[in-house]
Amino acid sequence: MNDLEEKNELDTRYEVLKIALQEQNLSDFRENFLELHIYEQGQFYESLTEKERAQMYSYLSPKELADMFDSLEEDEDALKEYLEEMRPSYAAAMLSAMYTDNAVDLLNLLGKKDTAKYLSLMSPEAAAEIKELLHYEDETAGAIMTTEYVSILANQSVGSAMRYLKKEAAVAETIYYIYVVNDQNQLVGVISLRDLIVNEDETFISEIMSERVISVHVGDDQFDVAQTFRDYDFLALPVTDYEDHLLGIVTVDDIIDVIDEEATSDYSGLAGVNVEEVSESPLKASTRRLPWLITLLFLGMATATLIAKYEVLVSEASILAVFISLITGTAGNAGTQSLAVAVRRLAISDDKEKSFIRVLISEILTGLITGAVTGITIFGIVAVWKGNPILGFVIGMAMMAAITVANLAGSLIPMLMDRLGFDPAVASGPFITTLSDLTSVLIYFNIAALFMSHFQ
């Protein structure tokens, strides 16, 4: 079956489900809905009206809806709206049935009053698990970990561990890795499901477990956790405190969300706009974009003021005005390229150890090489086009210097922001481009002023 046929079949299923809702056919709706993959359930759910969703809540148990919500990917406003549609007791039961880390993510979208309301409606055990994760700082391993994992003791036998695993597997988020702890709940080893299957029941866990366990600290930044997943190709990682007590695990599906979130943040910074605003109203999208645009407008005014300062120079040699946009545009492009590489470099942990001086020298050389090649190219073009080698030399020198400075700014500003504790992606493309315009104009007219006699 090709993609088009699969899509048509899925659309047909969605139509059947909507008809079952309209006709209030409970059995048909449940049978067809629960046959769908949870991702497809989520897609159907998001396509419904508020009235249709309200009817759906009466047809599904909180646990059945929780399975779908665990994989639901919607914007924050929509998720808050979904929770507000439900009866508080139903929403609380659904949150209790979700994986703890996903429930915490949902509750973090709400205010303290609403969070407290849902927690008060949960069982003490479920509320305690969620409260345990709620106090961890956002975007840390503690905030994205789940407490639904399986741990066993080193002095257990394989047979005993298998019986325990069978009992706990239904509520665990993953069972591919089973973590081994001592009597104080300190992490001492790890064993795979395969190891349990292939070894005899009488074998002790301590004999077959791996004592070298890669773990992350509960306070580690989520991006550093993602880097560990990338380096070791794990499906899950244990999370410990300073005394190696096992607190939870981070699973690869959560890391995929982190990578997506970090990439979105970088794209937003590089573009100077929130790239998730595709579904927002024009008014809301404008409100998000205007602060950057107004800030850049004032920076652009500085460039315009600088050009006005050299008005006499331009009036005496009007040919200089022809090449202003060429130099500023090329320098801006070079700065944006350098910015993209710098943000990527900072994202790679191995490269963070590079010294500032080493990066500085590397970027100066890169700027000089790219600037020299571009400068020589434009020198030849202008010299032939205008029949004035001196003009070509001025444009070429200005181009080389402007590209070198823009290249340095694009690399060093993100490094500086990273050292100050800010997101380096905030040094956005529009900001670097506008800054490059300012420096390029200053460089261009100062070099041109030295050769004015050749243009008049």
335 domain residue, yes or no: yes
Q: Which of residues 86, 118, 139 is at a domain's end?
A: 139
What pLDDT, on a 0 to 100 scale, did the predictor assign at position 332? 85
pLDDT at 268 (0 to 100) = 53
The pLDDT value recorded for residue 426 is 57
Q: Within the chain, which residues score under 50 in pLDDT?
A: 275, 351
Q: Say how far apart CA 342 and CA 354 lie, in whole Å.
A: 12
Nearest 5°: CA angle at 76, between 73 and 82? 80
pLDDT value for 358: 78
- Same domain assignment for residues 331 and 218: no
The pLDDT assigned to 274 comes to: 53
Co-location of 309 and 414 in the same domain: yes
C-alpha–C-alpha distance, residues 406 and 400, integer Å: 10
Sheet holding 187-192, edge to edge: 151-153, 177-181, 187-192
97, part of any domain: yes
Q: Looking at residue 409, what is its pLDDT?
A: 85
d(CA 307, CA 389): 24
User: Could you tell me if residue 364 is inside a domain?
Assistant: yes
The pLDDT score that the predictor gives to residue 1 is: 59
Q: Is there a single domain that holds both residue 449 and residue 325?
A: yes
Residue 357 and residue 213 share a domain: no
363 and 425 both lie in a single domain: yes
Domain holding 67, by residue range, is 3-139
CATH number, residue 420? 1.10.357.20
Q: Cβ distance 158 to 200 under 8 Å?
A: yes
Number of domains in the chain: 3
pLDDT at position 117 is 92
Minimal CA–CA distance to 245: which of 322, 318, 174, 142?
142
Q: Is residue 281 in a domain?
A: yes
Q: Of 80, 108, 139, which marks where a domain is finished?
A: 139
Give domain status of residue 266, yes or no. Answer: no
Instruction: Please tell me whether residues 336 and 222 are part of one structural domain.
Output: no
Structural domain includes residue 131:
yes
Same domain, 178 and 93: no
Of 113, 139, 165, the last residue of a domain is 139
Question: Residue 456: its pLDDT value, please?
Answer: 59
Q: Is residue 306 part of a domain?
A: yes
Taking only the tens place, the pLDDT of each residue in 249-277 is 998 888 887 777 766 655 555 555 554 55
Residues 51, 13, single domain; the answer is: yes
CB 265 within 8 A of CB 272: no
Task: Give the domain CATH number at 63.
Answer: 1.25.60.10
Question: Which of 440, 456, 327 shows the shortest CA–CA distance to 388?
Answer: 456
CATH number assigned to the domain comprising residue 155 = 3.10.580.10
What DSSP state is assigned to residue 220?
S
